[in-house]
Chains A and B, each alone.
Chain A
């Protein structure tokens, strides 16, 4: 493998690792579950793509490259779906209370929700009839 290819591969891998580290930093430092999910999933899929590209340059043959692309596709799908599931679950458990937000944010949330027609944020309260469900922290 030529030096240029190796160097390019390592640059891509380093960039991917940089994305992962940034996502981890966001996970630790952001205040809310939604901001944390946003940070982690976006950076993880980007980092995974860069990592897969960097490793594909060093891969032994075409089959390995295709496998890496396939892994990236699967991870991307699973990460996005999991992120959406967690966000919806958190939104159902405690809906965003528009009265606790500054006025312009509250208005934008109210109009945003009524535009998309999703009623879940405003009407579903945590009325779990079974008090036995574990309420671990969602943060």
Chain B
């Protein structure tokens, strides 16, 4: 009974905040509702027994995505384009949603071969082979060993997103006699950070780094892992950027480039060497698999942290040159 109340409350919150995020007349309210949606979604993951996903969602889905959205919303000029639509305009779309939802619910939840009667074979396979994988936590084992191919590609996707973002300057460039310069309208406004804010971020940033390190180390036996730790370290970078205490992150500095590309490249090197010299593509050698996984996780965490920090806080070169 209590579980039913919890489920219904979570569902009502999720659906109403999703609707509000799209249809709130003011864009900042919509973004706020989307961040709140992310936090309630993190609660839902905890309810459904997915703590790693809850950690990742709270850090990445609610936190970092909210920062990205708020930053992008600054570009929208005054007055904001109203997105308030009359209910009658939305009626065909709403009816379509309800119809499709009804059909899907009926199809998937009832009948003898409904999706809930099927028993997937994979969890038992994971259960059998987890002792050989090098880590004890099943989700980390799947991410870092059994489905390492997915994780490798994911690191490359992060890299590709960064390359795409680097093609576009964060503001309008104007041509001057000596080259190009950020136009006056897009130069960031320098504000002296408020001293209590600096003090509080001075408390939060070391705690975030500590939490990131803890999650990374604990990922082998408990919920945690490279992505959660990397996201929390990126959040620490965003926090420091807020008080203008972050050392300049520039693609032109070679340590930054080394950290960003290091994760994906290390993983690729491991994959190729296991393919040529070992048992097969991403088949880790048996006595050394824990060490290999931990090494890959540490480098991947740093790589993810710097990439996400660069995506969220922006390349400092773009604002000063």
Contacts and interface: CB of A to CB of B under 8 A. Distances in A.
> When A and B assemble into the complex, do they touch directly, with CB atoms less than 8 Å apart?
yes
A136 B28 contact: yes
A84 B203 CA distance: 17
Secondary structure at chain B's binding surface: helix, strand, loop or mixed? helix
Contact of A85 (B77, B197, B203): B197
Contacts, number: 54
B74 A134 contact: yes
Nearest to B183: A130
A88 B194 contact: yes
Given A134-B80, A136-B27, A137-B28, A84 B196 contact: yes
A135 B80 contact: yes
B74 A132 contact: yes
B68 interface: no
Interface in B201-218: 203-204, 207
Contacts of B101: none
A128 to B, nearest CB: 8
A130 B185 contact: yes
A131 B26 contact: no
B110 interface: no
Nearest to A81: B200
Contacts of A135: 78-80
Secondary structure at chain A's binding surface: helix, strand, loop or mixed? loop
A133 B74 contact: yes
B317 interface: no
B132 interface: no
A132 B185 contact: yes
Contacts of A136: 26-29, 73, 80
A77 interface: yes
Interface size on B, as a range, is 20 to 34
Which of A77, A128, A129, A134 has the most B CB atoms < 10 Å from its CB?
A134
A88 B187 CA distance: 22
Contacts of A84: 194, 196
A81 B239 CA distance: 13
Given A77-B200, A85-B197, A134 B28 contact: yes
Interface string A86-101: 0010000000000000
A132 B77 CA distance: 5
Contacts of B186: 130, 132
Contacts of A85: 194, 197
A78 interface: yes
B196 A130 contact: no
A78 B28 contact: no
Given A129-B185, A131-B185, A132-B185, A78 B200 contact: yes
B70 to A, nearest CB: 9
Given A77-B203, A133-B78, A136-B80, 8 more contacts: A84-B194, A85-B194, A85-B197, A129-B185, A130-B187, A134-B28, A134-B74, A136-B29
Interface of A: 74, 77-78, 81, 84-85, 88, 128-137
18 contacts: A74-B204, A78-B204, A84-B194, A85-B194, A85-B197, A88-B194, A129-B185, A130-B186, A130-B189, A132-B77, A132-B186, A133-B78, A134-B74, A134-B75, A134-B76, A134-B78, A136-B73, A137-B26
